[in-house]
RNA sequence: GCGGACGUGGCGGAAUCGGUAGACGCUGGAGACUUAAAAUCUUCUGCCCUUGGCGUGCGGGUUCGAGUCCCGCCGUCCGCACCA
């Protein structure tokens, strides 16, 4: 046994052994309890980054621990391989998106393998391959058949230079992020998935997800945004009518106007014949949508000249077009109650509309309202005829009941959630398996013609969608009538790909998306780990997709992920060149940590190739990003320190849900600990004999504590306990206990530093792999100490501590405490009035 | 604006039920080994006026006892954003 751990050699050796023996392949037919551990699969952007390393290390510790505790573990890995960066690379470098993506996958797979993750690579998948997306097309058509897919005109962000649709995130200050062109709103026919049909289920289902962070559940709840209220129709003075929705039907007698959105049909109709109205509508559209703009934007209206008849016979209300009413929410029209809604209050103030109090604010019941803000609190109804004296809640119910009885309105539920638009005018995605026929309309691609495969011969030298311009691809015969027809040339949003990959991991037959029974034997995912940036979209879409599959009878699973953990980011200090009068782009000033020179006293500088030295300003600690140039590439770090030191660092110090700051000192410390454990094992070559009960106790307390910490994903606490245990073993004299403790320590650290553990396990002549070893058993008798330290307080202040046998009686403890010299001194001759004794913990003497 | 989380040494953090605040790691100091350095080992490291006093953002409260519970502030971060 060498006295130094050669990580590079050990890493390669044991990774080879695991591969060869298929150690981490999951057996569908195992009799053991099944455990599905999953980390969010990566986008193959080129190289792995520290965020991946942290994410996958956490999942790996849990997966390895679960194996050791007797579970059949499914821990797979794959690639979220469709998406825009591949097309951007194609435009910039002239490479085919497929070649670029597959090369990246090869690189990143090799990098992940070097970290020794316990992954079942036999289940690897890439969403960009027809054997994945073909099945996705089949699922899309199942949803289509079940009426969960429909097509509708919808406004999109259109980049006129790149001739493509942009996601909202890609529009920066109204311009396309690549082209810089002013983005237009354009109406396009788009496919939608009916996620709103599941709004209630998705909202109510959150209640069952007790192992999800409360924050994520709340974010989804707000995103779905369920509101109950009254929807009803106002008769208009032009014999038309307008439908409005309100969550405050109780305030109906306080209404003083009706407002419709600028793109509401009533506004559109008026704009068509009245140039002033048209100008106002146009002005509304130009309004900014950023936070700051909305905050300061004035409430503006245009009087249509129409009036609306109050359904309960109060005065007629003027109808306005208003810039603050959204067409997308509710009915696109509201009634305004200025006294009890802040926006209505501002609007009414500007246009001198009546402001009438209908909810008492404490003892203020006067109909005249002269506060400078709306009153939105609870109270008793006033100035509201038959509603007077009711609470807000009672009045809401009363008005809804009355509306339903009289037939002019009904209680309804409205959601903030909209249906999921999935059409993308892009090449590198799953082709939408629909054919458009002049005679037959939309025709699904017949099952036997799936997959609809992307054409390889595409070019990106001109803007626009290569699928649409391809000379032959879109021309097909209509499956229904045989006439010339056209394929849909849009592809699916890549969030569709990630909405079911965890099911395909569990079961991947060739002839169908998955086998219902096999998939259900693994699902739901017991522990899902990923970044909080997916708290809403990905996690909501995957929940929807799973429920939609249940709806069509393909899978009996309600929730895909019963446990969710959102890990923190990996951060690093930032560095900037100290050039006072720099007039170039500020981004040019950032300097990568690897380009710094450390001078005397830790002073940082940047040496130019010409030999000049520029001082450096240390910036904030921020998420590693290319733009701030504060990334640290994992690969050379693994080369230098080995996989185990990197893994150990990822688990140390910071709680997993918080940010972890990368530091040179930190990785050095981890490397030292790996070597220290190795020396400990090495020195144990000649074991002593005899028992060491104190060490046995520490060991068993560590086994129980570390198990609890890993199960709670509190890796930083488990790491601290392992440091303590290692120190305790180092300090212990040779004994059989000590020799056993070393063997046990190896099993306890095996999930975290598996290469070291295997190497040491083999060196100590143990049979088999430590990866297949069982987690050590705990002897409950050794968990309790026979001696305890008892704190002695006088008036709540610590004065002494006593070491006593565990289980000493209150009288014994009290007597011992009162006998303490330090206590006598602290009492200063006073007589104790009261003595509180908490057995085995503390005594508090009150004087 | 609405919703939520958090605030503990020089730093990351621990304290699971209201019971010895600061485990463990990093940084730093001192020493041992060494011709020397690295590595390693030992030891100290919250603050101060050190038989003691003060300390968990600030101010109150409950309690024998509060980092932990309650009330009111201040600060930081995150999400949503004219959602009727």
pLDDT of A705: 95
More confident residue, A830 or A326: A326
| pLDDT at position A591 | 84
Could you give the CA distance from residue A196 to residue A191 in angstroms, rounded to a whole number? Answer: 14
Provide the pLDDT for residue A182.
76
| pLDDT for A183 | 76
| pLDDT in the model for residue A291 | 41
Q: How far is the CA of A760 from the C1' of B40 (A)?
A: 20
Q: By the 8 A CB rule, do A719 and A752 touch? A: yes
H-state helical runs in A621-774 = 634-641, 643-651, 664-683, 693-711, 715-731, 736-749, 754-763
The dihedral formed by the CA atoms of A739, A675, A783 and A798, expressed in degrees to the nearest 10: 130
Q: Flag whether pLDDT at A113 surpasses 60.
A: yes
Claim to verify: residue A247 and residue A342 sit in the same structural domain:
yes
Q: Is the CB of A663 under 7 A from strand B?
A: yes
DSSP letter at A242 equals E
Which nucleotide shows the minimum CA-to-C1' distance to residue A799? B20
Q: What is the DSSP string of A752-820?
A: TSHHHHHHHHHHTT-SS-GGGSPPPPP-GGGTS-SEEEEEEEETTEEEEEEEEETT--HHHHHHHHHH-
Answer yes or no: do A154 and A47 share one domain: no
Mean pLDDT on A268-287: 87
What does pLDDT average to over chain A? 90
pLDDT at A415: 92
Q: Return the nearest residue to B25, CA–C1'.
A: A653
Query: Which nucleotide has its C1' atom closest to residue A670's CA?
Result: B25
Q: Which pLDDT band, with edges at 50, 70 and 90, does A457 fall under?
A: very high
Which nt has its C1' nearest the CA of A247? B84
Residue A601 has pLDDT above 70, yes or no: no
Å between CA of A695 and C1' of B30:
30
Looking up tokens 């551990």, which residue turns up? A37
Co-location of A453 and A353 in the same domain: no
Residue A124 domain flag:
yes
Nucleotide with minimal C1' distance from the CA of A332 is: B84
User: How does DSSP classify residue A448?
Assistant: G
pLDDT of residue A224: 93
As a rounded value in angstroms, the CA-to-C1' distance for A476 and B83 is 44
b/e code A710-726 from CB counts within 10 Å (16+ = b): beebbbbbbbbbbeebb
Residue-level pLDDT at A248: 94
Residue A163: per-residue pLDDT: 77
Q: How confident is the model at residue A282 (pLDDT cuts 50, 70, 90)?
A: confident
CA–C1' distance A804–B7 (Å)? 38
- Predicted pLDDT at A226: 92
- pLDDT at position A261 is 93
Given a contact cutoff of 8 angstroms between Cβ atoms, the answer to whether A230 and A246 are in contact is yes
- The predicted pLDDT at position A504 comes to 98
Residue A617: pLDDT over 90:
no
Instruction: Decide if A8 is inside a domain.
Output: no
Claim to verify: residue A821 and residue A733 sit in the same structural domain = no
Q: Is the CB of A590 under 7 A from strand B?
A: no
| Residue A289 sits in the same domain as residue A395 | yes
Can you give the pLDDT at residue A296? 59
What's the structural domain count of chain A? Answer: 6
Res A290: pLDDT: 43
pLDDT at A684 over 80: no
pLDDT value for A246: 94
Q: Distance (Å) from CA A780 to C1' B55?
A: 38
The average pLDDT across A379-387 equals: 92
CATH (domain of A96): 3.40.50.620
CA dihedral for A732, A734, A736, A740, sign (positive or negative): positive
pLDDT digits (tens, 9 = 90+) for A309-364: 999 988 899 999 999 998 889 999 999 999 999 899 999 999 999 999 999 988 88
Q: Quick one: average pLDDT of A624-649?
A: 91
Whether A68 contacts A29, CB under 8 Å: no
Q: What are the beta bridge partners of residue A286?
A: none
Is position A380 within any domain? Answer: yes
Q: Are residues A237 and A382 in the same domain?
A: yes
Any domain includes A9 = no
Whether A490 shows a pLDDT value over 80: the answer reads: yes
A620 CA to B26 C1' distance (Å): 19
Of residues A267, A226, A230, A224, the one with CA closest to residue A248: A230
Banded model confidence at residue A289, pLDDT cuts 50, 70, 90: very low
Please check whether residue A694 lies inside any domain of the structure.
Answer: yes
Q: Is position A112 within any domain?
A: yes
pLDDT (0 to 100) of residue A292? 45
Angstrom distance, A806 CA to B9 C1':
33
Is A150 in the same domain as A69? no
Distance of CA A5 to the CA centre of its chain: 38
Of A751, A782, A813, which marks where a domain is finished? A782
pLDDT > 90 in chain A, percent? 66
* Gap from A377 CA to B72 C1', Å: 21
Note the CA–C1' distance, A502 to B11, in angstroms: 40
Kindly state whether residues A585 and A623 are assigned to the same domain: yes
A626 touches strand B (CB under 7 A): no
Whose C1' is closest to the CA of A4: which nucleotide? B39
Is the minimum distance from the CB of A724 to strand B below 7 Å?
A: yes
Residues A827 and A841 in one domain: yes
Of A395, A415, A435, the residue at which a domain comes to its end is: A415
Checking each nucleotide's C1' against the CA of A730, the nearest proves to be: B41
Q: Which pTM does this prediction carry?
A: 0.93
For the CA of A349 and the C1' of B11, the distance in angstroms is 54
Of chain A residues 799-838, which have a beta carbon within 7 Å of strand B?
A: 801, 822, 825, 834, 836, 838
Kindly state whether residue A17 falls inside one of the protein's structural domains.
no
Can you tell me the mean pLDDT for A164-185? 71
> What CA–CA distances, in Å, run from A680 to A252, A333, A699, A750?
78, 74, 15, 15
CA(A668)–C1'(B10) in Å? 20
Among A84-88, A363-367, A785-789, the minimum mean pLDDT is found in A785-789
- Can you tell me which residue has its alpha carbon closest to the C1' of nucleotide B21? A798
pLDDT tens digits along A125-168? 999 999 999 999 999 999 999 999 999 988 777 888 877 777 66
Protein chain A, residues 138-197, with a C-beta closer than 7 Å to any atom of nucleic acid strand B: none
Contact between the CB of A526 and strand B at under 7 Å:
no
Nucleotide nearest to A329 (CA to C1'): B83
Quote the tokens at residue A373.
């803000």
> Helices (H), strands (E): how many in chain A?
26, 32
Say how far A24 CA is from B6 C1', in Å.
39
As a whole number, mean pLDDT of residues A600-622 equals 78
Provide the pLDDT confidence category of residue A111 given band limits of 50, 70 and 90.
Answer: very high
Biggest CA-to-CA distance, chain A: 108
Nucleotide nearest to A287 (CA to C1'): B82
Q: Residue A250: inside a domain, yes or no? A: yes
Residue A659 CB lies within 7 Å of the nucleic strand B: yes
Here the CATH number for the domain that contains residue A467 is: 2.170.220
Q: CATH number, domain at A716?
A: 1.10.730.10
Predicted pLDDT of residue A826: 82
Top-confidence residue, A590 or A289:
A590
Contact between the CB of A671 and strand B at under 7 Å: no
Distance in angstroms: CA A567, C1' B74: 29
Task: Note the pLDDT of residue A236.
Answer: 94
In the 210-269 segment of chain A, residues within 7 Å (Cβ) of strand B are 214-215, 218-219, 222-223, 225, 227, 229, 245-248, 261
Q: In angstroms, how far is the first alpha carbon of chain A from the final one?
A: 63
**Residue A585 CB-half CA count within 13 A:** 4
State whether the beta carbon of A672 lies below 7 angstroms from any atom of strand B.
yes
**Distant-in-sequence, close-in-space partners of A494: CB < 8 Å, separation ≥ 6:** A80, A82, A83, A127, A424, A429
Here the ipTM equals 0.95
**Mean pLDDT within A41-54:** 95
Window 339-378 of chain A: CB closer than 7 A to strand B? 341, 343
Six-digit token string for A63: 């997966």
- Please indicate, yes or no, whether residues A575 and A617 belong to a single structural domain of this protein: yes
Q: Integer distance in angstroms from CA A801 to C1' B73?
A: 38
Average pLDDT over residues A67-80: 98
pLDDT at A18 over 90: yes
pLDDT above 60: residue A293 = no
CATH of residue A272: 3.90.740.10
pLDDT above 70 for A611: yes
> Is there contact between A550 and strand B, defined as CB under 7 Å from any strand atom?
no
Q: Which helix (H) or strand (E) holds A611?
A: none
Q: Does the nearest atom of strand B lie within 7 Å of A727's Cβ?
A: yes
pLDDT the model gives residue A79: 98
Predicted confidence (pLDDT) per residue in A387-401, tens digit: 999 999 999 999 999
Residue with the bigger pLDDT between A264 and A590: it is A264
Regarding whether A93 and A180 lie in a shared domain, the answer is no
**pLDDT value at position A729?**
94
Q: What is the mean pLDDT of the segment spanning A725-734?
A: 92
A508 CA from B37 C1′ (Å): 59
Q: Is A766 labeled as ligand-binding?
A: no
- pLDDT at position A768: 94
Say yes or no: A363 and A395 in one domain.
Answer: yes
Q: Which of A617, A636, A667 marks a domain boundary?
A: A667
Q: State mean pLDDT over A777-806.
A: 87
A185: containing domain? 134-194+420-494
Q: Which of residues 673-712 of A touch strand B (CB under 7 A)?
A: 673, 675-676, 705, 708-709
| A846 nearest nucleotide via C1' and CA | B64
Q: Beta carbon of A726 within 7 Å of strand B?
A: no
- Chain B: bases < 7 Å from a protein Cβ: 1, 3-5, 12-16, 19-21, 23-27, 39-42, 52-54, 64-66, 78-84
């Amino acid at each position: 046994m060498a006295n130094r751990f050669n990580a590079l050699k050990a890493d390669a050796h044991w990774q080879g052994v695991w591969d060869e023996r298929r150690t981490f392949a999951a057996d569908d037919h195992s009799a053991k309890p099944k455990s599905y551990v999953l980390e969010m699969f990566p986008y193959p952007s080129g190289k792995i980054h520290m965020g991946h390393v942290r994410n996958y290390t956490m999942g790996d510790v849990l997966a390895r621990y679960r194996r050791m505790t007797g579970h059949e573990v499914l821990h797979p890995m794959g690639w979220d391989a469709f998406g825009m960066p591949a097309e951007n690379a194609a435009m910039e470098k002239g490479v085919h998106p497929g070649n670029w993506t597959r090369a990246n996958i090869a690189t990143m797979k090799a990098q992940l393998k070097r970290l020794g993750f316990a992954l079942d690579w036999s289940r690897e998948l890439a969403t960009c391959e027809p054997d994945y997306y073909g099945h996705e097309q089949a699922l899309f058509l199942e949803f289509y058949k079940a009426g969960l897919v429909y097509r509708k005109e919808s406004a999109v962000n259109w980049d006129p230079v790149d001739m493509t649709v942009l996601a909202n995130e890609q529009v920066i200050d109204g311009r396309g992020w690549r082209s810089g062109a002013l983005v237009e709103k354009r109406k396009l026919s788009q496919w939608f998935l009916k996620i709103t049909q599941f709004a209630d289920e998705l909202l109510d289902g959150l209640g069952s997800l007790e192992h999800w962070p409360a924050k994520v559940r709340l974010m989804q709840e707000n995103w779905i945004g369920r509101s109950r209220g009254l929807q009803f129709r106002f008769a208009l003075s032009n014999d038309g009518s307008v439908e409005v929705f309100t969550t405050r039907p109780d305030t109906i007698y306080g209404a003083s106007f009706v407002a419709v959105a600028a793109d509401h049909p009533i506004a559109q109709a008026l704009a068509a014949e009245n140039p002033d109205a048209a100008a106002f509508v146009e002005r509304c559209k130009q309004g900014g949508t950023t936070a700051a703009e909305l905050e300061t934007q004035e409430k503006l209206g245009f009087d249509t000249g129409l009036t609306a008849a109050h359904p309960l016979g109060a005065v007629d209300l003027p109808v306005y077009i208003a810039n603050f009413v959204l067409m997308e929410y509710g009915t696109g029209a509201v009634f305004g109650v200025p006294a009890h809604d802040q926006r209505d209050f501002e609007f009414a103030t500007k246009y001198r509309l009546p402001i009438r109090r209908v909810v008492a604010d404490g003892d203020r019941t006067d109909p005249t309202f002269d506060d400078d803000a709306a009153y939105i609190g609870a109270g008793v109804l006033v100035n509201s005829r038959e509603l007077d004296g009711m609470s807000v809640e009672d009045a809401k119910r009363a008005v809804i009941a009355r509306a339903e009885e009289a037939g002019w309105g009904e209680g309804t539920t409205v959601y903030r959630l909209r249906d999921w638009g999935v059409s993308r005018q892009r090449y590198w995605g799953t082709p939408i398996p629909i054919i458009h026929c002049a005679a037959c309309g939309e025709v699904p691609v017949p099952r036997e013609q799936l997959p609809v495969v992307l054409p390889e011969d595409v070019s990106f030298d001109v803007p626009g969608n290569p699928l649409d311009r391809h000379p032959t691809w879109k021309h097909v015969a209509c499956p229904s009538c045989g006439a010339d027809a056209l394929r849909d040339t849009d592809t699916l949003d890549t969030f569709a790909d990630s909405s079911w990959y965890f099911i395909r991991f569990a079961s991947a037959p060739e002839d169908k998306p998955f086998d219902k029974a096999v998939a259900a034997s693994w699902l739901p995912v017991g522990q899902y780990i990923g970044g909080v940036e997916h708290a809403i979209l990905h996690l909501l879409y995957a929940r929807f997709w799973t429920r939609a599959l249940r709806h069509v009878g393909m899978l009996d699973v309600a929730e895909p992920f019963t446990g969710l953990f959102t890990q923190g980011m990996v951060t690093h200090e930032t560095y900037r060149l100290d050039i006072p009068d720099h007039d170039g782009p500020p981004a040019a000033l950032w300097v990568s940590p690897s380009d710094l020179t450390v001078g005397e006293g830790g002073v940082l500088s940047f040496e130019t190739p010409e030999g000049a030295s520029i001082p450096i300003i240390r910036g904030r600690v921020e998420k590693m990003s290319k733009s701030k140039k504060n990334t640290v590439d994992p690969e050379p770090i693994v080369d230098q320190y080995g996989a185990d030191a990197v893994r150990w660092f990822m688990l140390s110090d910071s709680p997993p849900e918080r940010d972890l700051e990368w530091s040179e000192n930190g990785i050095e410390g981890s490397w030292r600990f790996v070597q220290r454990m190795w020396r400990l094992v090495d020195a144990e070559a000649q074991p002593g004999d005899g028992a060491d009960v104190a060490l046995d106790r520490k060991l068993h307390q560590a086994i129980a504590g570390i198990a609890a910490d890993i199960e709670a994903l509190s890796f930083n606490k488990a790491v601290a306990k392992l440091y303590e245990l290692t120190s305790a073993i180092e300090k212990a004299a040779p004994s059989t206990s000590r020799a056993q403790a070393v063997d046990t320590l190896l099993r306890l650290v095996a999930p975290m530093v598996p290469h070291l553990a295997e190497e040491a396990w083999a060196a100590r002549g143990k049979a088999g792999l430590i990866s297949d070893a069982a987690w050590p058993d705990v002897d409950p008798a050794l968990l309790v100490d026979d001696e305890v330290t008892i704190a002695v307080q006088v008036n709540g202040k610590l004065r002494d501590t006593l070491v006593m046998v565990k289980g000493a009686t209150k009288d014994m403890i009290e007597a011992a405490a009162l006998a303490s010299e330090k206590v006598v001194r602290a009492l200063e001759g006073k007589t104790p009035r009261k003595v509180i004794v908490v057995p085995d913990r503390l005594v508090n003497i009150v004087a």
